[in-house]
Each structure stands twice: as C-alpha cells, then as structure tokens.
Structure 1
Amino acid sequence: MSIVRRLGDPPKLRGSGTMETCPDLFELSDGSFAVIGTDRTEELDSLLPADAARADYERIVVITRDTLLRAKRDIPDA
C-alpha cells in the first residue's frame, strides 16, 4: 500500500504555524483514506451514538473543518 495523493491543500497553504505539521487527508493505493489528526478517543468515545462503535485498534481522530472543506473538491463521488 502507498499514498497516492493528498486531498485538499498542504499544511503550508492552510496556515500551519510550522509549515509541516497539521491535520491532513490522503488517498491510498487500495482506495481507502488515511487521516492525520488529533487523537480524541478518550474524550469522544463515550459520546458516540448508540449505533456507532469502534474496535480496540481504532481511534477517533479529529481534523479541522477547514481541512475537510478544502479536501472536498478532491474526494471522489464514487
């Protein structure tokens, strides 16, 4: 598996203070997506709706609204 492309603008164009680290979204060669975000599992796990669950190996990762909105144009419809 490999990273095929970034979705949205790179951190530098989104105003990252370090110009390197920031939430990010990537499309992978198998068609899935990788997310770099803040791990908020402990805070949000108990707030999940009754019809949602996560496995022990899964984490709840938060990205900024701006990151997702800028990636929207690159997310395929199908």
Structure 2
Amino acid sequence: MRTTVVRRIGDSPRQRGSMSGQSCPDIFELSDGSFAVVGREATAELDAELPPDASRADHERIVVITRETLIAAKKDIPDA
C-alpha cells in the first residue's frame, strides 16, 4: 500500500507569516501513522553533534524546522 499525506499538522506556512514561499518548513501526518517533515537539510552540520545514544542510518537525514513550526503543530499532534 502506498503511503500518502493525510493532513498538515499545525498551521500552514502562510498562516505562520511566510508570504514569499521561500521558507516553508512543514509537518504532515501520513496514512501509515508516520510524520513527514519539510525543513532545512542539516545532516553534515549536525551529525557529529548527535548525543552518543543517538544514531542515523545512511539513508536518513537530519532536518531542521523552526521552533515556530513545531509549536504551531503542537495542538494537532495526538497524545497517543
């Protein structure tokens, strides 16, 4: 079964003040219950900064979203 985007989590970039479309971090809930994040790719910058008990597979990337994006999504993130 193909995974699809079910809904946006939090406010849209436009609601958060991005009128230019140049900076649009976003969070989406997927049909399989996972979440997808659109953000700035920062693997090279932050990989060595991960704590000792954290790891990243070769196919995974570290993505940064703004604090504002995550706080705006908080109301839509399920507790369970």
- Class of the TM-score when normalised by the shorter of the 2 chains: over 0.9
Equivalent residue, structure 2, for 1:30: 32
| TM superposition score normalised by structure 2 | 0.92
After superposition, residues 33-72 of structure 1 pair within 5 angstroms as 33-72=35-74
Structure 1 portions without partners, runs of 5+: none
SS of the counterpart of 2:14? helix
Instruction: Give the CA deviation at 1:65.
Output: 0.2
- Give the aligned CA root-mean-square deviation in angstroms: 1.2
| TM superposition score normalised by structure 1 | 0.95
Matched positions, count = 78
Identity of counterpart residues, as a percentage?
Answer: 65
Segments of 4+ in structure 1 off by > 3 A? none
Q: d(CA) in 1 for partners of 2:22 and 2:36? A: 17
SS of the counterpart of 1:57? coil
